[in-house]
Amino acid sequence: DAGVIQSPRHEVTEMGQEVTLRCKPISGHDYLFWYRQTMMRGLELLIYFNNNVPIDDSGMPEDRFSAKMPNASFSTLKIQPSEPRDSAVYFCASHLDPAAGELFFGEGSRLTVL
Amino acid sequence: AQKVTQAQTEISVVEKEDVTLDCVYETRDTTYYLFWYKQPPSGELVFLIRRNSFDEQNEISGRYSWNFQKSTSSFNFTITASQVVDSAVYFCALTEFRDDKIIFGKGTRLHILP
């Protein structure tokens, strides 16, 4: 399997623009997680899905952030409008069963908002 | 609510020294799982180990060892005879049986000096 695939790998945008990050989980994995990594906060869980349904979005920082999973093979994380403080690395991860073992991460999307 | 604390933000040791990374967790569940991940300078997240709450045996894998103590809610990670390639950010994580989300600590940045 190709692993978790994220795009874009790097995104530079200006404040106020809409940003869409994409993720393709590993085929067969029922769980999908979005994390944000910053120096100050470390690795924060933003939202996770089970069988395409959002289960816990309590980590989403504010209404500017939204996430969808229209099918088992695709998820998006959207920021509208973006702000400089959103600059971070965003990771997508997937798993068959979070308790059973490894959570598989994508390579991350590095977002810079100017 | 579940919580993971890695009090050591940054550690520097000279090569060949032993180093221990601390992880303290909080959970109300009696069944839970603990993890360690490594993030080398290249940025990807590498799974190291998973431990369930019913297995308190210490684990050793080459130069790596883990000490799980339920009495102190700790899951510490020791690198013996450290090497420069061990330089990375190390994350401890927790998931509860009744809640599928995986929560990470803020990470410890480890520098191994030649």
What confidence tier does A100 reach under pLDDT thresholds 50, 70, 90?
Answer: low
∠ CA B4-B8-B13, nearest 5°, is 140
Residues of chain A with Cβ-Cβ distance to B50 below 8 Å are 101-102
What confidence tier does B109 reach under pLDDT thresholds 50, 70, 90?
Answer: very high
Residue range A49-94, pLDDT digits in tens: 999 999 999 999 889 999 999 999 999 999 999 999 999 999 999 9
Residue range B15-33, pLDDT digits in tens: 999 999 999 999 999 999 9
Measured CA to CA, the distance from residue B46 to residue B43 in angstroms comes to: 9
- pLDDT averaged over every residue in chain B: 94
Instruction: Find, in chain B, the residue whose alpha carbon is nearest to that of A37.
Output: B106
Residues of chain B with Cβ-Cβ distance to A41 below 8 Å are 106
Answer whether residue A1 shows pLDDT above 70.
Answer: no
Token output for A101: 């073992």
pLDDT reported for residue B45: 94
pLDDT reported for residue A75: 98
Q: Determine, for residues B101 and A33 on separate chains, whether the beta-carbon distance falls below 8 Å.
A: yes
Q: What is the DSSP string of B24-81?
A: EEE-S-SSEEEEEEEE-TT---EEEEEEETT----EEETTEEEEEEGGGTEEEEEESS
